[in-house]
Structure 1
Amino acid sequence: MPARAGLTRAVEGLDQTGATGQVNVVEERPLTIFLNSREIVTAMTIGDYPEYLALGFLRNQGMLSDDETVTGIEYDEDLDVVIIRTETETNYEEKLSKKTRTSGCAVGTVFGDIMEGLEGLTLPDATLRTSWLYTLSAKINQTPSLYLEAGAIHGTVLCKGDQPLVYMEDVGRHNAVDKIAGWMRAEGVSGADKILYTTGRLTSEMVIKTALMGIPILASRSGFTAWGVEIAQQIDLTLIGRMRGKRFTCLSGADRLIWDADVNAAADEDPRHRRKSARA
């Protein structure tokens, strides 16, 4: 999905030799999300796709069920406010009173019980060919992005087989995932046969959100947290991390893997991504 203009700005500075130069830096702005007349949260975001971010955030927090009718989405660019309107008013005082700050960049927030919705959850049957991982990595690395332009950003990609479908970016990986969730809900897209790829760490929050989106496979170029792995194992979510060049590590759900790729034939990682990883 192409990025909107105005997401970065050029800033003049000095390099290690004292020479003057310009670098592109990512813009950051607040976005306040309302559900009907109730203010829910103010999130720091890059400002693109605010409607998808608001819709996905509410859906992933359990404040907007899949069968609830959304009657309107209003975005005020001047006020940086999104209002999601539903057919019926719902009281979320109990959920709003319980906040958990997550490890997400730009300070992620989870409302209510962080494990709510996982009890009895059964993820769809799926297969994951290792050749898809190498193909996806190469395609995503070659996609024009804010990550390549300015760093300091996380990307999340919804994929099917070896094809990227939707690419979202934001200063917080949780925001990028919520944008994907919002797009899926708006377009009526199922997660059953999808793969979610992220540049961010595989934390408990990332695992939980992926599972609640009905996606059975989560992959990342970054590493794991112990709780993220533990939850993935409990719900049988396939968890692939440290996916760079020829390498990857699977710590959960390996039964979905089909080992059809020749590792020696896989391409090495684009050097631009190695440099950006050190600075992001």
Structure 2
Amino acid sequence: MTTFSRGENLCSFSTTHKINTKKIIVDKFYKDNFESFEDYVIKDEKIDFYLNGEKLISVMSIKEYQDAHIVGFLLSEAVISTLDDIKSLKISEDGLSVYVEADISNIAYENLFKQKTLTSGCCVGVTGNAEKTFDCAFISTQYSLKSSEILSYMSEFNKSSKLFDDTGCVHKARIVLKDGTFFEAEDIGRHNAIDKVIGLVTLQRKNLKESILYVTGRLSNEMVVKCVMHKIPIVVSKAAVTFEGIKAANEHGVTLIGFAREHRMNVYTHSGRVKID
């Protein structure tokens, strides 16, 4: 069992491509004929999260970065406010169970299991803790980037990974810090991928207040919630945005960018953070 204790320099353990995929035989129909070939599919598994000795939630995910996953999840749901709230973190040898001991209030723990609002993807919810924090939050930072920088980072982000190339079955999230350092995570669920990458940054004790988040998939309300909860001022996707996503971003100070391509992008809210070269 992999273990961490409070005060240690936490770092995430990544599994291999082999562990995240399974090779199978597929019968492909093409031009009136079947032909058999070997192919990779993603190996999704049920991961159990435990908090202070009680089962918290089960998520369908891949084994990679589950330490970061639970850290990002607990921060996103406002169960913990900083990494220092975690006293210990343990991962079972098979990678399917993650155990956290943390300093949390009884109210925060109770709210985790009630007042849940189902989101538009992956059956993930936003709990009462997150909603309460989100409702009164506004990102006022003047952090900005040149349009060429945003699109250049997008071009790099769009380059396929080995895991996506082999399976076509993962979402990806990347956080780029002010100095150009980036962290990246993949998962079968876009919410999982975002929580993982946020966890990775947090485990390295980096500042998210001057960063930009790149995601795959649509930019809906829950994507904005995650940005606000972690004070990330800019979020970008090559995909579409939703009305509720625009509304939330406008009200809470997030620069929302969709349909980002090689030479263009749509900036839906707080465009002052995008500087023309």
Is 1:166 aligned with 2:166?
no
Is 1:4 aligned with 2:20?
no
Q: Show structure 2 runs of 5+ residues with no match.
A: 1-11
Which residue matches 2:3? none
Q: Show structure 1 runs of 5+ residues with no match.
A: 261-280
Which deviations, in whole Å up to 9, do the C-alpha atoms of 1:204-249 show, x marking residues without a partner? 1111001111110000111111101100011121001111332321
TM-score by length of 1: 0.85
Is 1:73 aligned with 2:86?
no
Aligned residues: 259
Distance 1:164 1:10, change over 3 A: farther
Once residues 179 and 203 of structure 2 are traced to their aligned partners in structure 1, the CA distance between those partners, rounded to angstroms, is 23
**TM-aligned CA deviation for residue 102 of structure 1:** 1.6
Tell me the percent identity.
Answer: 26
Distance 1:131 1:239, change over 3 A: same
Which residue matches 2:48? 32
- Contact 1:157–1:164, Cα closer than 8 Å, also in 2: no
**TM-aligned CA deviation for residue 147 of structure 1:** 2.0
Distance 1:163 1:14, change over 3 A: farther
Give the 5 Å matches for 1:1-280: 4-5=16-17, 6-17=19-30, 18-66=34-82, 68-78=84-94, 80-87=96-103, 90=106, 92-105=109-122, 107-112=123-128, 115-123=131-139, 124-142=141-159, 144-161=161-178, 163=180, 165-260=182-277
Residue type of the alignment partner of 2:78: G
Stretch deviating more after TM superposition (90-99 or 230-239) = 90-99
Once residues 146 and 199 of structure 1 are traced to their aligned partners in structure 2, the CA distance between those partners, rounded to angstroms, is 14
- Contact 1:36–1:89, Cα closer than 8 Å, also in 2: no
Once residues 83 and 184 of structure 2 are traced to their aligned partners in structure 1, the CA distance between those partners, rounded to angstroms, is 25
Residue type of the alignment partner of 1:196: L
Distance 1:161 1:98, change over 3 A: same
Give SS of 2:29's match. coil
Which deviations, in whole Å up to 9, do the C-alpha atoms of 1:180-199 show, x marking residues without a partner? 22122222111111000001
Once residues 88 and 112 of structure 1 are traced to their aligned partners in structure 2, the CA distance between those partners, rounded to angstroms, is 15
Once residues 193 and 272 of structure 2 are traced to their aligned partners in structure 1, the CA distance between those partners, rounded to angstroms, is 28
Give SS of 1:84's match. strand
- Contact 1:158–1:167, Cα closer than 8 Å, also in 2: yes
Structure 1 outlier segments of 4+, above 6 Å: none
CA RMSD, aligned part only? 2.2
**TM-aligned CA deviation for residue 19 of structure 1:** 2.0
TM-score by length of 2: 0.86
Which deviations, in whole Å up to 9, do the C-alpha atoms of 1:144-172 show, x marking residues without a partner? 34223311210000113583511100011
